[in-house]
Amino acid sequence: GQNIDQPTEMTATEGAIVQINCTYQTSGFNGLFWYQQHAGEAPTFLSYNVLDGLEEKGRFSSFLSRSKGYSYLLLKELQMKDSASYLCAFNTGGFKTIFGAGTRLFVKA
């Protein structure tokens, strides 16, 4: 079967670093995505990993280990505006993208 898991909620302090983990199981894999979604708004693309390793993009980095079915999103120098849900998703090939339920991140002052 196919499934994807990520923590429901996390809380972190402004200026700190937070790591959001995601594990998945699938027979077909064509890349892993992270999206950010503020409440009541559209998800927006953050990162895409298709090979193992770390991809860095400013304050955001994403890591993938295909053999372990594991990814994480690392957010550095947290800002209040980073309070949002973070959706982990993988593509199985073709049209199908499987989304996790999302991790709600609360950034406190």
Partner 1 sequence: DGGITQSPKYLFRKEGQNVTLSCEQNLNHDAMYWYRQDPGQGLRLIYYSQIVNDFQKGDIAEGYSVSREKKESFPLTVTSAQKNPTAFYLCASSIGLAGADGELFFGEGSRLTVL
Q: Is residue 87 within the footprint of partner 1 (CB under 8 A)?
A: yes
The answer for residues whose C-beta is within 8 angstroms of residue 41's C-beta and 6 or more apart is none
Q: Which CB, 13 or 97, lies closer to partner 1?
A: 97
Only one residue has tokens 């209040």, namely: 80
- Which residue(s) pair with 78 in the sheet? none
Among candidate residues 7, 89, 107, the one with its CA nearest the CA of residue 47:
89
The C-alpha atoms of residue 109 and residue 102 are separated, in whole angstroms, by 23
The residue among 5 and 83 lying less far from partner 1, judged by its C-beta, is 5
8 binds partner 1 (CB under 8 A): yes
- Per rule CB under 8 A, is residue 43 in the interface with partner 1? yes
> Does residue 27 touch partner 1 according to CB under 8 A?
no
Contacts with partner 1 by CB under 8 A lie at 4, 8, 30-31, 33, 35, 40-45, 48, 87, 89-102
